Structure 1
Amino acid sequence: MDEHSYDDIINLPNPTSKKHPRMSLHDRAAQFAPFAALTGHDAAIKETARLTDERLELSDEVIMRLNDQLNMIRDNIGTEQEVSITYFVPDDKKSGGAYLTHSGVVKKIDEFERKLIMQDETVIPIEQISEIQGEIFKGLYE
């Protein structure tokens, strides 16, 4: 290719339109910005991809064990017995939810509202509990 092929036009002035005003740099940059055709579509895809767990149905044996453990906790409130409670938290946006485990000391069992209130003010619905562990239960089912 010839090194001087544009010598005849290189110094000519840049043509400007007489009908249209010159576009600002901001407007020119907007032409190359990412385009989201559907507002909220990206969020909807992320929500669909978010995984949830199904709530497990507990056997009668497990329910009896949980009832025994809750009675033991109620009888020992005030003795600072630390327990770990695994419970189901339903998802607000789609079916299913997540299992969480919270460790701490039970401050109160509200039998009317059917919930545990932990010392750190965490509230756990009794019907969502799937497992309780703690030193207090050593020897209970051995």
Structure 2
Amino acid sequence: MIDKKQWQAEQAQFNDTSRYNDIMDKPRHVSHAHLPMTGRDRAGQFAPFAALTGYHELLNKIAQRYVNKKYPTGAEEQAIFDFFHQLPTGDAVRLELTYFNGESGYYEHYRGTLDHVNWAQQVAYFADGPQIPLRNIRVVNRKGNAHGQG
């Protein structure tokens, strides 16, 4: 859906033909050296732009999923990162956490065994499959020690 400002800008840009008054009544040039292009070939020139059709709708749809997300403060984010940095490596660590699921657009609770943390991607990998970005974790605890914002 087009907003009012965008519509007004397009109207001002594309509907004012006054700067072309000097050429409006001149006949269209027809080349004697080249055959006219077929309608199909002419349309094909614009096909790359058709790839962008629906792009804004897709962005809006994805943005709607993130309406419910509460972004952590720097201190809250640091507390989550510190918690994961302090976990023992090589041991099976059971965690319970609340995290934002970007697919559903809601916060979800999860209990599972941490497999490892990929610090380059900042993602926690769990033994039974889930991959949860650390920045999406709101609350995490192990043996009753809560970290993050409740």
Greater per-residue helix proportion: 2
TM-score by length of 2: 0.47
